[in-house]
Amino acid sequence: MRIKVNHISFSYNELQALKDISFEVDTGDMLAIIGQNGSGKSTLLKCMNRILKINQGSIEINERPLSAISPAKLSQIMAYIPQTEEARTGLTVFDTVLLGRKPYISGKPSAHDLEFVSELLFRLELEEEAMRTINTLSGGQQQRVFIARALAQQPSILLLDEPIANLDIYHQMKVMKLLRQLSAEGITVIITIHDINMAARFCNKALMLKQGTVFASGDQSVYVSANIEYLYDIEVEVVRYKDNICIMPKNL
């Protein structure tokens, strides 16, 4: 699905967290939102998911105003995985993922819903964990459970706030590869991410936020040292190695 964000602004009381943000993403895109802590990344995802109500501007999904989409319909279109989700519940992995089917279930889950969950657990290599309670899993396993729950919604748009922040590099690669695969399958994937090397490697688009404004956006050509230096207030060297972009901070 095509998402168009037109000149949106958002304030938490006096604090203007987003100022005049515009960008577009389309089916098959994987967008990395990057920027310093406090630059507005999480706030932007929450505005896109309508958890927060924008003060100005508009967001369109396939040319339709986001504000005109019913909550029930929105939960079938868009799934969101927040930054600080921690599994505190004693629910099993299976039941947690089944919660993602809620937009499609009236009454009891159907055989199709149960089958759908089983297939997702298989795809995300969680079938052996199906009956474990989620709070007993490692961070990497929990992240995969949350992704599975989001996919159970059969979303066309997937928003993830720092999906690899707490993972080791093996699991980071696994999650990033999965997300890229999902975007190739037609899901519009939008993530916030601190690891700019991972962002440059896996995401075909980037949106650089600085103090609530878009400083630069576009394809991988935005990963030049001048942009990164301004974005993070550090000095860097951008090295191209094989097909990778490698951003290395210089000594201060």
Positions in the binding site for ligand ADP (CB under 6 A) = 12, 15, 17, 35, 37-43
149 binds, among Mg ion, ligand ADP, none (CB under 5 to 8 A by kind): none
Shortest Å distance, C-beta 70 to ligand ADP: 26
Beta carbon nearer to ligand ADP, 97 or 189: 189
Shortest Å distance, C-beta 80 to Mg ion: 13
Beta carbon nearer to Mg ion, 17 or 120: 17
Shortest Å distance, C-beta 41 to ligand ADP: 3
**Secondary structure in 3-state letters for the chain:** CCEEEEEEEEEECCEEEEEEEEEEECCCCEEEEECCCCCCHHHHHHHHCCCCCCCEEEEEECCEEHHHCCHHHHHHHEEEECCCCCCCCCCEHHHHHHHCCHHHCCCCCCHHHHHHHHHHHHHCCCHHHCCCEHHHCCHHHHHHHHHHHHHHCCCCEEEEECCCCCCCHHHHHHHHHHHHHHHHCCCEEEEECCCHHHHHHHCCEEEEEECCEEEEEECHHHCCHHHHHHHHCCCEEEEEECCEEEEEECCC
65 binds, among Mg ion, ligand ADP, none (CB under 5 to 8 A by kind): none
Shortest Å distance, C-beta 43 to ligand ADP: 3
84 binds, among Mg ion, ligand ADP, none (CB under 5 to 8 A by kind): none
Beta carbon nearer to ligand ADP, 15 or 252: 15
38 binds, among ligand ADP, Mg ion, none (CB under 5 to 8 A by kind): ligand ADP
- Please report, as residue ranges, which positions from 15 to 74 form the binding site for Mg ion (by CB under 5 A): 41-42
**Contacts to Mg ion by CB under 5 A:** 41-42
